[in-house]
Amino acid sequence: MRFYAPKGTTDILPDMAKKWRYLERKASDLFEKYEYEPIVTPIFEHTDVFQRAIGTSTDIVQKEMYTFEDKGGRSLTLRPEGTAPVIRAYVDNNMNQMPQPVKLYYTGPMFRYERPQAGRYRQFFQLGVEAIGSDDPAIDAESILLMIDYFRSVGLKELTLYINSMGCENDRPKYVELLKQYAIAHEQELCKDCRKRVELNPLRLFDCKEESCRRVMEHAPKITDYLDEDCKNHFNAVRRYLDMQGVQYIIKPELVRGLDYYTKTTFEVVSPLLGAQNAIGGGGRYNKLVEEFGGPPTPGIGFAIGLERLTIAVEKEGAFVAMEEKTDAFIAVADKAVKEPAVNLLYALRGAGIATDIDYTGRSLKGQLKYANKKGFRYTIFLGPQELETGIVQVKDMKTSEQYAIKLNELVDWLSNIVKSQTMGSGVTKQS
Ligand SMILES: [Zn+2]
Ligand SMILES: [Zn+2]
């Protein structure tokens, strides 16, 4: 009997999980510099939460949700995205009574029943931020700049930023009606799916990958030409803030993001390292969402980044190298007779903050050295009866092949000084 991970899921093994931890750590450090605070919401919510927020006409709600009934007869859904749960939590916990805006970030798995393909899973991971309680265009710019700042902080150099405005309830219905008329006039050229979209959700016509549909949509009316004064001013202000920070962007009127809740600013960042599926993050403003959940009228904006695709981009950029420098130590035990003092040394080193390990499978000394090498330990400490007797141990720097003779009672201090100087980036200080 053998078990396999469910279709569309994958185990994140240590090599990959370490990269994820690194990306998450860089994210939380930076998000907190921008004064965003962590929030953790349940992985499942009442199904209504997503139907209400994302919209019943979207692909997500129609086909992609993991919805189930629990033993109490409630309809629950594994979260397909992170914004709706955060907004539900904002209303649920009366966070509108806290100082505004409330700036939050989250990380965790999301679930969508989609056809699995390279880099796309049914359980996938996202990092996201939400700023709730401000309609200031400067905070739209902050959201965009934070995302760009983050991508740069993990080593991505070439990025393209697309921005758009989707208007508001005052101007968008008029535009959608216009778009619908346009699509009806070109119905013969549209694919089967798109013909259904014309009635249901004309904005989705922009998402179709079919050549003929794309050709039609290239000449479709552009939402940016139909914005009212308020939305136009807002969009121009966002652009000025981006210009002030020297961030380049391309206005892309077709960028009408897949969920119903977006209003005004939307944005997306793509990486040329990712080929056709090249978006690594996107977001936008959602000024009606808090009301949808029964809260007072409250504007909000946020973004989400896909961890899987981000990892591929950072790998392709070769930017994980910086984190791979290890300073761990391995105690090679030359004789079983010294196992106990070796274990004492192990805990002394760990107590001093040095990542340290020892053999647990009874390998020969040669086998231990092979293991240490394979696992990439930076320092190997040799401990045998002779070392205990003389009080002097040999420490080998596996990277430089240099060997040091160190007094056993000074070893912990000596090594922690070296490790400290290395993790501070000042390189190895040679001592003996
Ligand atoms: Zn408007
Ligand atoms: Zn189509």
431 or 150, which is more confident: 150
Question: How far apart (Å, rounded) are the C-alpha atoms in residues 124 and 336?
Answer: 46
Q: Are residues 410 and 384 in the same domain?
A: yes
87 or 258, which is more confident: 87
Q: Are residues 301 and 367 in the same domain?
A: no
- Containing H/E element for 394? strand 392-397
Residue 427 has pLDDT above 60, yes or no: no
Q: Is residue 126 part of a domain?
A: yes
Distance 234 CA to ligand 1 centre (A): 9
Distance 219 CA to ligand 2 centre (A): 14
SS3 state of residue 271: coil
- Containing H/E element for 184? helix 172-185
Tokens of 199: 């009635």
Q: Are residues 90 and 19 in the same domain?
A: yes
Question: How far apart (Å, rounded) are the C-alpha atoms in residues 376 and 10?
Answer: 25
Pairing of strands 356-358, 329-333: parallel
Q: Is residue 213 part of a domain?
A: no
- Whether the CB-CB separation of 270 and 235 falls below 8 Å is answered with no
Distance 223 CA to ligand 1 centre (A): 10
Q: Which residues of 179-202 are buried (b: 16+ CB within 10 A; e: fewer)?
A: bbebbeebeeebbeebbebbeebb
Distance 209 CA to ligand 2 centre (A): 7
pLDDT confidence of residue 426: 40
Domain that holds residue 40: 14-171+227-321
Share of the chain above pLDDT 90, in %: 82
Q: Which of 289, 321, 353 is the last residue of a domain?
A: 321
The conformation of residue 217, written as its DSSP 8-state character, comes to H
- Containing H/E element for 348? helix 339-351
pLDDT confidence of residue 101: 98
- Whether the CB-CB separation of 91 and 295 falls below 8 Å is answered with yes
57 or 389, which is more confident: 389
SS3 state of residue 170: coil
Residue 214 has pLDDT above 60, yes or no: yes
Instruction: Convert the pLDDT of each residue in 311-351 to its tens digit.
Output: 999 999 999 876 667 789 999 999 999 999 999 999 999 99
Instruction: Convert the pLDDT of each residue in 296-318 to its tens digit.
Output: 999 999 999 999 999 999 999 99
> What's the whole-model pTM score?
0.90
Q: Which residues of 228-253 are buried (b: 16+ CB within 10 A; e: fewer)?
A: eeebeebbebbbebbeeeebebeebb
What one-letter code names the amino acid at 223? Answer: I
Q: Is residue 186 part of a domain?
A: no
pLDDT confidence of residue 431: 40
Instruction: Convert the pLDDT of each residue in 121-140 to its tens digit.
Output: 999 999 999 999 999 999 99
339 or 119, which is more confident: 339
Residue 428 has pLDDT above 60, yes or no: no
Q: Is residue 51 part of a domain?
A: yes
pLDDT confidence of residue 430: 39
Share of the chain above pLDDT 70, in %: 97
Residue ranges near ligand 2 (ion) with Cβ within 5 Å: 191, 194, 208, 210, 213
Q: Whose atoms come closest to the Cα of 172: which ligand?
A: 1
Count of domains in the chain?
Answer: 2
Q: Are residues 166 and 38 in the same domain?
A: yes
Residue 49 has pLDDT above 60, yes or no: yes
Distance 187 CA to ligand 2 centre (A): 10
Q: Look at the alpha carbons of 201, 207, 208, 214 in this order and tell me if their dihedral is positive or negative.
A: positive
CA distance to 162, 275, 375, per residue, from 250 (Å): 5, 19, 45
SS3 state of residue 56: coil
Residue 238 has pLDDT above 80, yes or no: yes
What is the pLDDT averaged over residues 277-282? 89
Distance 237 CA to ligand 1 centre (A): 14
> By CB neighbour count within 10 A (0-12 exposed, 13-18 middle, 19+ buried), where does 429 fall?
exposed
- Whether the CB-CB separation of 148 and 159 falls below 8 Å is answered with yes
Instruction: Convert the pLDDT of each residue in 95-114 to its tens digit.
Output: 999 999 999 999 999 999 99
Q: Are residues 27 and 160 in the same domain?
A: yes
Q: For the residues of 276-335, what is the DSSP string, one character each?
A: TS-EEEEEEE-TTHHHHTTPPS--EEEEEEEHHHHHHHHHHHTTTGGGG----EEEEES-
Q: Please report, for the domain that includes residue 120, its CATH number.
A: 3.30.930.10
Q: Please report, for the domain that includes residue 407, its CATH number.
A: 3.40.50.800
Q: Is residue 23 part of a domain?
A: yes
Distance 243 CA to ligand 1 centre (A): 22
CA distance to 25, 35, 199, 217, per residue, from 255 (Å): 30, 28, 20, 12
Q: Report the mean per-residue pLDDT for the chain.
A: 93
Residue 432 has pLDDT above 70, yes or no: no
Q: Are residues 148 and 269 in the same domain?
A: yes
Instruction: Convert the pLDDT of each residue in 165-212 to its tens digit.
Output: 999 989 999 999 999 999 999 999 999 989 988 988 888 898 888 899
pLDDT band with cut points at 50, 70 and 90 for residue 429: very low
What is the pLDDT averaged over residues 245-268? 89
Question: How far apart (Å, rounded) are the C-alpha atoms in residues 109 and 10?
Answer: 12
Residue 85 has pLDDT above 60, yes or no: yes
Residue 386 has pLDDT above 70, yes or no: yes
Residue with tokens 């393209």: 160
